[in-house]
Amino acid sequence: MKAIISGGGTGGHIFPALAIAAALKRRHPEADILFVGARGRMEMEKVPAAGYPIKGLPIAGLQRQLTLSNIIKNLQLPFKMLHSRVLVRRILRQFSPDIVVGVGGFASQPTLSTAQRMGLPTLLQEQNSYAGLTNKTLARGADRICVAYPDMERFFPADKIVLTGNPVRADIEQLSCTRDEGCAHFQLDPSLPVILSVGGSLGARSINRMVMDNLQLFAQQRVQIIFQTGGAMHDEARQAVERAGLGQWVKVHPFISRMDLAYAAADLVISRAGALAISELCLLGKPALLIPSPNVAEDHQTRNAKALADKGAAIMLTDAECHDLGLPQAFDLLHNPERCAAMSQAILTLAAPHAADRIVDEIDAILVRNHVIDSATETK
C-alpha cells in the first residue's frame, strides 16, 4: 500500500502528519509512505529526521506586508504554483499512491488538487475549529474529511465529515517518561516548580518578550522555566539570560525535539492556543496559561482557548495582556496546587485519544472500497 502525505510549514501541520504516518506504519508495516512539502520550510528537516522520504515543492504563501521585496515574491506566486503542479503530477505518476492525505499548509493545495484531478482518493485532516482556506477549497473533491471539532458542516459537506480529534505524536500521547527524567534532561532541580513556555514551533514574539523582560522574577519566585524561543529570537534570549546570570533558572532552546521530556518536567505550560498544542495539553492533563495568537484566520486560537477557559481547564490572556499579567498569573497558579489539580482534571475531560488510529480507520475504509486492502486491513 502506498500513501502520500502532504502539508506542513509549521509544527501544527507537520507533527499531526507524522503521527498519521506512524499509525499507518503500525497498522501496515509494509506501507510505502512519501511526504510532499514546501522547499525551505521546516518539514524538509523534520520529516527525514523521523525516517520518511520527502519531496519539496517551490510553493510559498502570500506575503501580506506590502514591501517591494514582498510584492516581487507575490508576483512570483502564480509561476511557483504552476511549477509545483507540474512537479506534483510527475511525483504522483512515478509513485502511484493508493491514497493522498492532506494536513494543510502550502504544499497541500497543489498536491491534493492535482491528485483529485487525476482521480486519486484523497483524505483531508483539519486541525482547527475554523477551517483553513486550503482544506475548504479541497473539500468537495475529498473522499473523507477528518476534523477535531464538532459543527464543521459550515465549512465542509456533512456526509464527508468524521470527528476524529487531532493526531498527537505517540511519545506524547503515551507519555512514559517521569518528571525526574524530564528534569534531568533539561538540567533542572526536580524539587522546584517548572514552567514550560512554548510559542509554537516557530516561536512567538510576545510570549518571548514576556519572559525576557522579566527574567529576574524566576530567581525571585524560585521557579524554573524551559524556554522555547523559536529560531529568530534564540540568540537574543540566550544572551539576555547569560548577562543576567540566570542559566540555573532559565533554560533557553530554539526548538525542543524531546517534547515528551519537556511535558514530563513541566508543572505548568504557557502556550499559544493552536490546535496541536490544545490536543497535547488535553491528553496530558497539564494546567495551562493560553495566549492565543492574534494573527490567525478568524481568530480561531481565541476560540480554542476560550473553550478551555470556560470549563475551568485553562487560563486565557490576550496577546496584549500577556506581557504584564502572564507571569504573575503563572506564579500564582503554581503556588495554588488545589487549583492546578482542578484544572488538570478539567482539561483531561476534553481529550480525544487515539485520533491518529481513527484517521487510519478512515484511510482503510477508502482503501477497502477501492480494493487496495481487504476488510481485515491486510495489504494486498
At 242-252, the pLDDT tens digits run 999 999 999 99
* Residue 225: pLDDT over 80: yes
Which of 273, 306, 305, 266 minimizes the C-alpha distance to 287? 266
**What's the start-to-end Cα distance of the chain, in Å?**
7
CA distance 247 to 238: 9
**Biggest alpha carbon–alpha carbon distance for the chain:** 64
Which of 289, 264, 266 minimizes the C-alpha distance to 343? 289
Cβ 167 vs Cβ 19: under 8 Å: yes
For 154-200, how does the pLDDT look when each residue is reduced to its tens digit (9 = 90+)? 999 999 999 999 999 888 998 999 999 999 999 999 999 999 999 86
CA distance 119 to 107: 19
Which of 143, 32, 145 minimizes the C-alpha distance to 94? 32
pLDDT of residue 377: 53
CA distance 1 to 366: 12
For 12-36, how does the pLDDT look when each residue is reduced to its tens digit (9 = 90+)? 889 899 999 999 999 999 999 999 9
pLDDT of residue 172: 92
Give the predicted TM-score (pTM) of the model.
0.85
pLDDT of residue 379: 45
* Residue 64: pLDDT over 70: no
Three-state DSSP string of the chain? CEEEEECCCCHHHHHHHHHHHHHHHHHCCCCEEEEEEECCCCHHHHHHHCCCCEEEECCCCCCCCCCHHHHHHHHHHHHHHHHHHHHHHHHHHHHCCCEEEECCCCCHHHHHHHHHHCCCCEEEEECCCCCCHHHHHHHHHCCEEEECCCCHHHCCCHHHEEECCCCCCHHHHCCCCCHHHHHHHCCCCCCCCEEEEECCCCCCHHHHHHHHCCCHHHHHHCCEEEEECCCCCHHHHHHHHHHHCCCCCEEEECCCCCHHHHHHHCCEEEECCCHHHHHHHHHHCCCEEECCCCCCHHHHHHHHHHHHHCCCCCEECCHHHHHHHHHHHHHHHHCCHHHHHHHHHHHHCCCCCCHHHHHHHHHHHHHHHCCCECCCCCEC
Cβ 65 vs Cβ 75: under 8 Å: no
The side-by-side arrangement of strands in the sheet containing 2-6 is 54-57, 32-38, 2-6, 99-102, 122-126, 144-147, 161-163
* Residue 380: pLDDT over 50: no
For 100-145, how does the pLDDT look when each residue is reduced to its tens digit (9 = 90+)? 999 988 899 999 999 999 999 999 999 888 888 889 999 999 999 9
pLDDT of residue 35: 98
